Structures are given as structure tokens and as C-alpha cells.
Structure 1
Amino acid sequence: MTQAQQGDTVLIDYKIHKSDGTLVGDTSEAGPQPITIGEGAIFPKIEEKLTEMKVGDQQKVEIASDNAFGPRRDDMVIDIPRQNLPAEPAPEPGMALQAQQQDGSSVTLYVLDVNEEAVKADANHPLAGEDLTFDVTLREIRAAA
């Protein structure tokens, strides 16, 4: 087999950069990551590129923010009254909090600011509003059974 197809599991290495060049993801420590093409575990544009690649090929794949983690939304930055949070651990900027939404699902909030009365938290994905570039290397193809 020379190229991956839908249903195949591939092992890939990648580096992810924001548009300003900042590295925000890298498989160098964890090693190649398995992706089954068609399961939606990675952005569709990357799956599409993987089906065009052979083992050892490298591709640069640019993903616009709307097709990555979406636009940054100001309405997802909220103030939470301090009495609605546990006293320990004390919230600090940069801390991640888990909250339950009305539908029962959980969401991660990132603390932006803390004062006596409230905590300002952001429910946007940390990469919301960011265009991303993936440098992908196809390491192995495991054909679907």
C-alpha cells in the first residue's frame, strides 16, 4: 500500500504553530500519534492530506481559525461570583476550572482575573481565533481490517 485510505490507522508526527510562529503542539516527546482516517479525531483538512501522502512524506497544512477551534467569542468570557467557587484551591490567573453546563456536559474555563468579589473566566478554547499550521509527517500506515 502506498497511500492511506479511509479507515486506515496512520501514525503521524506533527508540530502545530500559531500564525505568529509560536509552537503550541508537538509530538516529539510522546512519539508518533495514531489517527484512524475518517473517525474525525483530527481536522478534516489534515485527514484529506493524509490520504495523499506516502510513508515518510511531510506536509504543511494550514487550518483557518474558523475550521480549527472557531472564532474567539467575547460572550464566553464570564464573571463568576466568588461564593459560587470552592475556597480551595484559591483561583489564580491561568488556572483551569471545570464547570457543568445546563445540558450536563462539562466545559473548561480558564481564569483570567481574580478579585474579592468575582473571578473572570474564559470558556473559549485557548486556540480559539488562531489560524494554525500543522507540519505533519506520515510515519506508518496500518491498513483497515
Structure 2
Amino acid sequence: MQKVENGHVVKVHYTGRLTTGEIFDSSLGREPLEFTMGEGQMIPGFEQGILGMVVGEKKSIQVPCELGYGEVLEEMILEVPKSQLPLGMPMEVGTQLAINLANGGQIPAVMTAVSEETVTIDANHPLAGKDLVFEVQLVEINPKKSGLIFFE
């Protein structure tokens, strides 16, 4: 039987849980997740858990935060004067916003605290600092190298 290797395009069904058991994402009821192994499209711990699987195989993958979304970075938590935010923006915990970067890109963030003059904005990934558990089933392996060119 063919086993998953880097460069393979794979399809998996998955359910992602926190170690508390809370589900944060799942492909059940939708199309399976498709990605190319080894291209960094998925978090490292997820890809490492898929390597070597065969079609139809089910397994549980334990992903420590350092192989998932990383540790919480204090430099990604900012206290900002309310006057620097757009007029009309809700000033409440849980408000989602985008931070504009110097290169023209944006990163998502969420308000985590609101005081009289300032708001605290956290731009860490919501799953940063958390160990994760994925229940996965490998649905398909396509050994084609998905547009990658290999020279021999």
C-alpha cells in the first residue's frame, strides 16, 4: 500500500480539539481537506502526523503548541489609544479587527481588554499557546507532485 510522502497531494477528514476536548474545527459534513505535503500549507505537527499514513487509516495526532501555532508572543499584544481606532468601531472585548502592516498586508487581531482610554489588541493566532489533538482519516493520496518540478 502506498504511504503518504512529502510532495503527495492528500485529502483528509479531521476533527481538531483542544486538550480540554473542545472542538475548534472539523471537516465532517464538508469536503475533506486537501493539501500538498511538505509545502508548509499546514502546521508542522499535523503534517508530521500524516506522513506514512495509508488510505483509510484513522489516527489521533497530538500536536504540542510549538509544532502548532506557536507560543503566545507578548510583542503581538498591543495597548492602543482608542483615538487611533476607526470611528464607530465597537469598543468591546471580542471585537475582531485587522492590523495593517508596513508591507501592505494585514493580520487579524481581537480586542481582549477595554479601558476608558485604551484597548488591548491581541494579534496572536487564537490557537497560539495551546496543545492540539486531531482525529484524522486519510481519504486519498495523489502521488503527483502538484506542480512541483523535480530534477534528477
- 1:76 is the counterpart of 2:76: yes
The structural deviation recorded for 1:96 is 1.2
Q: Secondary structure at the match of 1:99?
A: strand
**What is the correspondence of 1:41-60 to structure 2 with a 5 Å cutoff?**
41-60=41-60
> Cα–Cα, structure 1 residues 48 and 75, in superposed 2: closer, same or farther, change >3 Å?
closer
Aligned residues: 145
Q: Which AA in structure 1 matches 2:79? A: D
Equivalent AA in structure 2 for residue 30 of structure 1: R
Task: Give secondary structure in 1 for the equivalent of 2:17.
Answer: strand
- Do the aligned partners of residues 71 and 51 (structure 1) sit closer, same or farther apart at CA in structure 2, a change above 3 Å counting? closer
Identity in percent: 30
What is the match of residue 97 of structure 2? 97
Displacement of 1:56 in angstroms is: 0.8
What letter corresponds to residue 57 of structure 1 in structure 2? Answer: E
Deviates more, 1:83-92 or 1:45-54: 45-54
Counterpart CA distance in 1 for 2:79 and 2:49 is: 41
Tell me the equivalent position of 2:38.
38
Q: Contact 2:43 / 2:69 at 8 angstroms: preserved in 1?
A: no
Q: Which deviations, in whole Å up to 9, do the C-alpha atoms of 1:86-124 show, x marking residues without a partner?
A: 112323211111112345432222111223311111111
Q: Over the residues paired in the alignment, what is the CA RMSD in angstroms?
A: 1.8
Q: Which piece of structure 1 moves more, 62-71 or 98-107?
A: 98-107
Q: Deviation per CA, 1:60-81, whole angstroms, max 9, x where unpaired?
A: 1111111211112334322111
Q: Is the 8 A contact 2:44 2:68 kept in 1?
A: no
Structure 1 residues 51 and 77: CA distance shift in structure 2, 3 A: closer
**What's the TM-score, normalizing by structure 1?**
0.88
Deviation for aligned residue 1:28: 1.3
* Range with bigger deviation, 27-36 or 100-109: 100-109
Q: Secondary structure at the match of 1:116?
A: coil
Unaligned runs of 5+ in 2: 146-152
Structure 2 residue aligned with 1:63: 63
1:46 shift after superposition: 2.9
Partners of 1:44 and 1:116 in 2: CA distance: 41
The separation in 2 between residues aligned to 1:58 and 1:106, in whole angstroms, is 37
Q: CA deviation at 1:31?
A: 2.3
* Residue 140 (structure 1) shift: 1.0
Partners of 1:138 and 1:65 in 2: CA distance: 23
Asked whether the equivalents of residues 45 and 64 of structure 2 are also in contact (C-alpha less than 8 Å), the reply is no
Instruction: Look up the SS of the partner of 2:48 in the other structure.
Output: helix
Q: Which residue of 2 aligns with 1:113?
A: 113
TM-score, normalised relative to structure 2: 0.84
